Amino acid sequence: MTSTQNAPAERRAGSLDRLNTLLETRTETLTLFGQLAGMRPYHSNNKELQYVLQGFCETLVDYTASAHFQLYRFMEEDTERRTEVRKVAEKIYPDIAVLTRCILDFNEKYDCEDHCDNFSTLEPDLSKLGEVLADRITLEDQVISIFNTQRI
């Protein structure tokens, strides 16, 4: 096989690697989210809670960045060749951007590296974040599904 014939297979493998990275960071985020949810009631003097919350915030930002770099960057750079992938991504990206802002707002409020002194609204904020993550995952899965069904 020539290098030209290998190019589609290499691009497909690269796409699968990107998706796997995204799914790994998503799983880690959801695992820590569940751990946090189980640590109620929330008190700022709880050092274990502070530790888990800090790890969660770091993982949450990693997941958010991973989605951008693994899926949406290729749309922005106009390097995605599959028309159906582009259509789906362009349709959902505005909603993803709104959800991303909610995630970053949560991180800014609760990143224990900067402050860990007020958890009075952590429970409702986690509840809202859970809804945001569910919506985001639903949208991302649309792109992932089309990635998996489209040939290069």
Give the pLDDT score at 108.
92
Give the pLDDT score at 1.
52
User: Domain limits of the chain?
Assistant: 3-149
Average pLDDT for 25-49:
93
The alpha carbon torsion through 60, 61, 62, 63 (nearest 10 deg) reads 50
Tell whether domain 3-149 is in CATH 1.10.630.10.
no
Whole-number Å distance between alpha carbons of 76 and 44: 40
Give the pLDDT score at 80.
59
pLDDT tens string 80-107: 566 777 777 778 888 888 999 999 999 9
Which pTM was predicted?
0.80
Whole-number Å distance between alpha carbons of 79 and 4: 17
Contact, 128 vs 102, CB < 8 A? yes
pLDDT tens string 4-21: 555 444 555 556 677 788
Residue 58: band (very low, low, confident or very high) from pLDDT cuts 50, 70, 90: very high
